[in-house]
Amino acid sequence: MDTSIFTDLRLQPCTEDLKSPLGETFSQWMKIRDFVLEKSPNAEEEWHVSVKKYGWSFRIKDKKRAIVYLSPRQGYFKLVMVFGQKASEKILESDIKPWIKEELMNSKVYMEGRVLRLDINEASLINDVKTLIEIKLAKLK
């Protein structure tokens, strides 16, 4: 089962709790967080539990819509974003890595859109993630 490293629902994590388990990827977590908040200054960040068995995850939302979900793992974290049809088309037209486009197109389509899940375990993904965030935020405006 793919769960957060924070499974004790009585203890809400904080940023400081991420440093040790995320290791080198902690800086990438912070870059993504800071980028979203820079691009969307009114966005709200929060730790939440959507399904008890999966533990705590972190999300940043704007106007009650999630921009990005980050879920900590040992040594890396998962990034989850949802894109509607128009945003998905923008992603396909972008210079994002082909395998990320493939992940998006192979993902299940829900009423809200396509769910993109990426393991963030290397700094080389940050520019693509920033592009994804910009596409998502352009759609929210």
In this predicted model, which residue has the larger pLDDT, 141 or 29? 29
pLDDT in tens, 102-137: 999 999 899 989 999 999 998 999 999 999 999 999
Say if CB 37 and CB 45 are below 8 A apart: yes
Domains of the chain: 15-140 (3.90.1150)
Complete DSSP assignment for the chain? ----S---TTS---GGGGHHHHGGGHHHHHHHHHHHHHH-TT-EEEEE-SSGGG--EEEEEETTEEEEEEEE-SS-EEEEEEE-HHHHHHHHHS-S-HHHHHHHHHSPEETTEEEEEEEE-SGGGHHHHHHHHHHHHHHH-
- pTM of structure: 0.90
Band of pLDDT at residue 40, cut at 50, 70 and 90:
very high
111-115 CB contacts, 8 Å cutoff, 24+ apart: 112/82, 112/84, 113/82, 113/83, 113/84, 113/85, 113/87, 113/88, 114/82, 114/83, 114/84, 114/88, 115/80, 115/81, 115/82
pLDDT in tens, 52-111: 777 788 999 988 789 999 999 999 999 999 999 999 999 999 999 999 999 999 998 999
Would the pLDDT of 140 be above 90?
no
pLDDT at 118: 96
Would the pLDDT of 139 be above 70?
no
